[in-house]
């Protein structure tokens, strides 16, 4: 008797089942996953509750057999954790574990452990953004009546909080010029100074801070913390803590994440006591990272070494091209011998990262023509992703919405300065793109 197409006889079904069961790919002792209600929970069984409760309350318990560990840490989306007893609440707070994701999350801890290992610190914490890391650190370690010494220029968000927000809490500040000898910091220390803040390489002009000397200065002072934003280098190229710096900061949005698909920040500490002080502020202020972003960040860090090598080799070639171009007045890249702090960069950086500052002839107009006429490089803020980005600080990140022209120029952010984040494309393609965009700057604009 012929069967219609798609119809399988009972005998044929049994044959298929026996093939699956006998296959080496499956164990005869495996059973379908069951919820805890199906197995019974302290005498409560699935038949004791309605489907409404089954839908909300069924949980899968661990399968039998030897325990295994996921090669990639899972994303723990759960906001809260099931306790075995009331006493476990205080026990976890005292001994460690998870109660509520604002207080701790396995996915976040996984990336903290990796960052701390890269940094060589005593503990790391991850934050929802780079500015969350910076602002939490400033609020944690400074109080009304304190004084901070900061390099100028600096990241625009840092400048904003130092100039416009900290004074509302009675916290004073003094700026020193980026790239200055560390002794300049010492000259501005007052009896109420509690923090020395530096960036290296500096945003956006690529000035370099001598980390060894900065660390020595901090250790020579009582009750003064040193914090360094090393975002432009990454911990792969420039570990900070080993120089005696108290706190290393990174915007993980940039090189650590590396793919322009997350916003995050991190702090790494030179002592466990600093870490413990900070985690109280982080959990209370609610500036922790989401576990989903933590997973993306962890994935990005896995390729950090090979990306930083490519970013750096590309940037070296592009910087050398720009330095010879007649429409470029000056190039600031730590890998160029012409950089004022080139020798310091060689001492403390493995290689020189992917960030370039270039002064374009023609001032604001010359800089704008360049950034608006690139075709492969993208006009966008941020940095550190696999794609090359360019921006014009005088009209964008450090523009009139944040700084007066006088303040901007005093920090060395000139009218024609452009900031370029070199990606991992073919460097010859990037050079061709910049070359054609520079060609569009008219001679009468250059003057």
Please identify every residue annotated as catalytic: 102, 155, 229, 254
Is the distance from CB of 93 to CB of 73 less than 8 angstroms?
A: no
Q: What is the dihedral of CA 125, 127, 129, 133, to 10 degrees?
A: -60
Phi (first) and psi of residue 397, to 5 degrees? -65, -35
Does residue 268 contact residue 247 with C-beta atoms inside 8 Å?
A: yes
Instruction: Give the Cα separation of 14 and 12 in Å (integer).
Output: 5
β 328-332/265-269 pair status: unpaired
Tell me how far apart the alpha carbons of residues 46 and 258 are, in angstroms, rounded to a whole number.
47
Which pair of structure tokens corresponds to residue 164?
């416009």
Judge residue 401's burial from the number of C-beta atoms within 10 Å of its C-beta, 0-12 exposed, 13-18 middle, 19 or more buried.
Answer: exposed
Q: Which secondary-structure segment (H or E) carries 148?
A: strand 147-152
Q: How many CA atoms lie within 13 A of 382 on its CB side?
A: 24
Q: Are 238 and 209 in contact (CB under 8 A)?
A: no
Query: Distance between CA atoms of 122 and 225, rounded to whole angstroms?
Result: 15
Helix or strand or coil: residue 226? strand
Tokens, residue 186:
């010492």
Query: By C-alpha distance, which of 407, 431, 410, 408 is closest to 420?
Result: 431
What residues contact 328, with CB distance under 8 A and at least 6 apart?
A: 322, 358, 359, 360, 361, 438
Q: Which residues contact 160 (CB under 8 A, 6 or more apart)?
A: 402
């Amino acid at each position: 008797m012929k069967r219609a197409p798609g119809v399988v006889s009972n005998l044929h079904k049994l044959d298929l089942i026996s093939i699956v069961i006998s296959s080496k790919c499956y164990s005869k002792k495996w059973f379908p996953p069951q919820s805890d209600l199906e197995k019974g929970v302290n005498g409560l069984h699935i038949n004791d509750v309605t489907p409404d409760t089954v839908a909300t309350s069924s949980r899968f318990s661990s399968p039998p057999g030897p325990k295994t560990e996921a090669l990639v840490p899972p994303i723990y989306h759960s906001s809260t954790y099931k306790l075995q007893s009331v006493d476990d609440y205080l026990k976890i707070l005292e001994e460690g574990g998870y109660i509520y994701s604002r207080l701790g999350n396995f996915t976040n801890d996984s990336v903290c452990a990796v960052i701390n290992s890269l940094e060589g610190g005593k503990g790391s914490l991850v934050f929802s953004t780079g500015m969350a890391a910076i602002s939490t650190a400033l609020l944690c370690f400074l109080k009304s009546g304190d004084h901070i010494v900061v390099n100028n220029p600096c990241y625009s968000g840092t400048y904003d909080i130092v100039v416009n927000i900290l004074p509302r809490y009675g916290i004073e500040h003094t700026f020193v010029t980026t790239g200055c000898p560390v002794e300049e910091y010492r000259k501005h220390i007052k009896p109420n100074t509690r923090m020395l803040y530096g960036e290296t390489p500096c945003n956006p002009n690529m000035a370099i801070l001598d980390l060894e000397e900065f660390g020595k200065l901090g250790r020579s002072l009582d009750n003064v913390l040193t914090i360094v934003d090393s975002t432009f280098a990454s911990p792969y190229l420039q570990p900070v803590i080993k120089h005696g710096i108290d706190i290393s900061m990174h915007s993980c949005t940039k090189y650590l994440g590396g793919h322009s698909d997350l916003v995050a920040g991190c702090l790494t500490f030179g002592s466990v006591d600093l870490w413990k002080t900070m985690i109280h502020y982080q959990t209370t202020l609610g500036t922790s990272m989401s576990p989903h972003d933590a997973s993306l960040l962890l994935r990005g860090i896995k390729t950090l070494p090979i990306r930083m090598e490519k970013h750096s080799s590309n940037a070296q070639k592009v910087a050398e091209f720009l330095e010879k171009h007649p429409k470029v007045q000056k190039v600031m890249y730590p890998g160029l011998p012409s950089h004022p702090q080139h020798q310091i960069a060689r001492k403390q950086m493995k290689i020189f990262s992917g960030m370039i500052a270039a002064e374009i002839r023609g001032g604001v107009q010359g800089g704008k023509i360049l950034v608006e006429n690139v075709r492969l490089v993208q006009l966008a803020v941020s940095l550190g992703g696999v794609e090359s980005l360019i921006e014009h600080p005088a009209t964008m990140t450090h523009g009139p919405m944040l700084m007066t022209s006088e303040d901007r120029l005093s920090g060395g952010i000139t009218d024609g300065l452009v900031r370029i984040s070199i990606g991992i494309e073919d460097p010859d393609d990037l050079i061709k793109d910049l070359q054609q965009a520079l060609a569009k700057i008219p001679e009468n604009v250059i003057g």
